[in-house]
Structure 1
Amino acid sequence: MSSPEANRRSVLAAALYGGGALFLASCAQGSTTPQSTPQPGTSGTASGPVQVTDQRGTVLSFDRPVTRVVTIPMPTASLLAAVDQGTSHLAGMHNASWVAMRDGVMGTMYPDALNIPHDIATTDFTPNVESIRALNPDVVVQWSDAHLTAPLEQAGMKVLGITNTGTQEDVDTWTSLFATLLGRPDRAVQIKARSDEKLKSIQAEAAARGTGGPGIIYFNRFSGGLKVAGNGSYNDFYIKLVGGHNPATGPQGLQGKGMVGVDVEQVLAWDPEVILLGNFDEAMPADLYGNPVWQSVSAVRSHRVYKVPLGGYRWDPPGQESQLMWRWLSDISFPSGDRSALRDETTDCFDFLYRYRLSAPEMDKILWTEANGASANYRQFDAS
């Protein structure tokens, strides 16, 4: 019989095709069932006409807040759920979004989400127009490239076009757009305020430490071909945010933007001190620790290889839980020897985002405590 960890790895393997440069917890003992829809009369809830301008500059008008949203960019399904504090208005999503829900805790928090249609687009986000039209959406969220939006608009559907520049501003913009569409502008204000507070805190910590942080490489793909985060990626943003440096964007870095293919020799030459393994791939730290090819790399010798957490959505790309990624990365990059505040911060964050309280085992699942257990300084994330 396979172990729970092996089963989880097999599920993650199904997400290998997830978009490279694309994006987007725990609590007291015991779980509680979340409310899947906002309470009537929630402060800031609107009921009249709604108008938004998407990231293409296209103006979309609705007679009332939307109730049926289809999301194609992968992080947007979970972000919509966070803004809405439920999934009752999510009518369809990309399969990779659904896989993350199934494998992470979103499917536990909102089990009905696993019944939402998810065969609506190809791996390169080309929409299945007929499948989407059959869902009768009020609006379809799609990458703003004309060849991706045009088929939907030509079929008579309203399309909210979004872009990904690898910055925190994108998350703020998406959150604001979704909150407006759903008639919950208060949520955008609240979410941004909390994110801004955490961002300033991480920036202050990094400034106090000064320069000289570790070299950190993020692998968007490891098994079946190496891809690392380059210029213009959100991963490069948060590596530098916490005070590290990214060899892939340094003086000996790569040409091109986003996720860039590399060979083993290039990574050996960079000799990163920390390696992050993303959730678009099934690779685990043990795969490097046990492979002779990687034994000369500093991160492997010092056991500083880590699987990135998977919460309501993958923590690798930008999303509503990015503030937790910043704390996690800061703590593994600059361990103090004390217990990390991450569990407490995640408890608070999930309560705010999803109205859900996680058990200690659910938190361990999010943080990959078993897979990361042999990596340096990971005991700081243990339950107290």
Structure 2
Amino acid sequence: MKKQTVITGLIVILSLMDISHVLAYTVTYKDKLGRVVTVDAPVKRAVILITYDLIPALDIWDDVAGINRWAYSHDDLFKATMPDAEKTIPSVGTGDNVNIEAILALKPDLIITWTYRPEIMRFMEQKGLKVIGVYPEGIEELYEVMRLHGRLFNREKRTEFVINKMEEIFRLIRQRVATIPEEKRKRCLWLGGKPTTVACGIGVTNDIFKMIGCINPAGDIQERNRDVSLERIITWSPDVIFIWGNAGYPIETVTKGSQWASVKAVRENRVYRAPEWSTWSPRLAPIALWMAMKTYPEYFKDVDFDGVVDRFYRNVFGVSYGEIDKIAQ
């Protein structure tokens, strides 16, 4: 009887070893800077400095050792999905102001950051840290980054589910704007960190403009963003202006500024400050719907925005949109 027990025990141990072997794999990724990075996966101790909305979306809380402090100070989603996260997942600075000592103390398997400051990435590598840099410049690139997370954290099926939920909203938008005649297409401008910094022809924002049937006057500029003269914006005279939700100036800078008064969007009260949501997130889908409805309200008048977004939030983040909206206010 004892011999049988020992054999059974060995079988169980070998089975577990086999499962462990199956689950252990490597992920090789060519990042935005052209660096080829190979990572042992699934990752169990990640520091996430940029794509932190994917933590609740993919349910990888237990695999995150450190996070960008903006997730706690600027992200209403975190307050709703994991109100006590700050007690267990320390902040380690921001993507362009990293606390290297804090990161080293966490002994992470991987750091995921953005490529805005490549010198910071190089410095972290010199300290023996493994770093992947991302900078999605379109919706397809965002999906690629999301799928990377799926592979890194063994959440590939969940990632595809989230992408499908985003596509449901995108399909709704595309179906509505497909019926808009070319002569009725609006000229839309996105203002960034300064009132004269505009989103140009490269980037997620320009992809959204194309999706929602807008003409981006700055779309011919093959850059992500550029600071232009106010005179140029006046010449463009966009029909609709969107302001980045985290911009450090009030909407009145545009709507009440005497120099802006001749711009069509200002004259017709069509200047909107976007929600403080990252566009490198599954929340890009509700942002796109919000922008489409602001631009072409007559084509979306029967769409229940709160209802659509609430279903999206419940499916993707496990919380209601009402909870998030209440926290944001």
TM-score normalised by structure 1 residue count: 0.71
Amino acid at match of 2:196: L
CA distance in 2, matches of 1:216, 1:107: 32
Contact 1:278-1:308 within 8 A present in 2 as well: yes
Residue 249 of structure 1: how far off its partner (Å) = 1.8
1:142 aligns with 2:104: no
Where is the helix percentage greater, Structure 1 or Structure 2?
Answer: 2
Contact 1:242-1:329 within 8 A present in 2 as well: yes
Look up the SS of the partner of 1:221 in the other structure. Answer: coil
Contact 1:140-1:158 within 8 A present in 2 as well: yes
CA distance in 1, matches of 2:193, 2:131: 30
Amino acid at match of 1:218: W
Q: Which residue of 1 aligns with 2:309?
A: 346
Q: Indicate which of 314, 320, 327 corresponds to 1:357.
A: 320
Please say which of residues 320-329 and 207-216 is displaced more in the overlay.
207-216
Amino acid at match of 1:142: T
CA distance in 1, matches of 2:143, 2:196: 30
1:276 aligns with 2:239: no
Contact 2:95-2:114 within 8 A present in 1 as well: no
Q: Deviations over 1:8-34 (max 9, x none)?
A: xxxxxxxxxxxxxxxxxxxxxxxxxxx
Q: Indicate which of 27, 45, 56 corresponds to 1:68.
A: 45
CA distance in 2, matches of 1:216, 1:365: 29
CA distance in 1, matches of 2:126, 2:154: 27
Task: Give the length in aligned residue pairs.
Answer: 302
1:262 aligns with 2:235: no
| Higher RCO (CA-CA < 8 Å; seq separation 6+) | 1
Q: Which residue of 1 aligns with 2:73?
A: 99
CA distance in 1, matches of 2:77, 2:161: 23
Contact 1:54-1:162 within 8 A present in 2 as well: no
Inter-CA distance 114–291: structure 2 relative to 1 (3 Å threshold): farther
CA distance in 1, matches of 2:30, 2:245: 27
1:229 aligns with 2:199: yes
Residue 272 of structure 1: how far off its partner (Å) = 0.9
Contact 1:142-1:160 within 8 A present in 2 as well: yes
CA distance in 2, matches of 1:146, 1:297: 38
Contact 2:46-2:112 within 8 A present in 1 as well: yes
CA distance in 2, matches of 1:82, 1:287: 35
Q: Indicate which of 317, 331, 342 corresponds to 2:293.
A: 331
CA distance in 1, matches of 2:206, 2:326: 26
Q: Which residue of 2 aligns with 1:290?
A: 256
Inter-CA distance 194–357: structure 2 relative to 1 (3 Å threshold): closer
Residue 128 of structure 1: how far off its partner (Å) = 3.8
CA distance in 2, matches of 1:47, 1:90: 22
Q: Which residue of 2 aligns with 1:192?
A: 163
Amino acid at match of 1:69: A
Residue 339 of structure 1: how far off its partner (Å) = 4.8
Amino acid at match of 2:213: G
Structure 2: 5+ residue runs without aligned partners?
1-20
Q: Which residue of 1 aligns with 2:6?
A: none
Q: Deviations over 1:264-309 (max 9, x none)?
A: 2111111111010112213343443333222211111111111112
Look up the SS of the partner of 1:247 in the other structure. Answer: coil
TM-score normalised by structure 2 residue count: 0.81
CA distance in 2, matches of 1:228, 1:293: 17
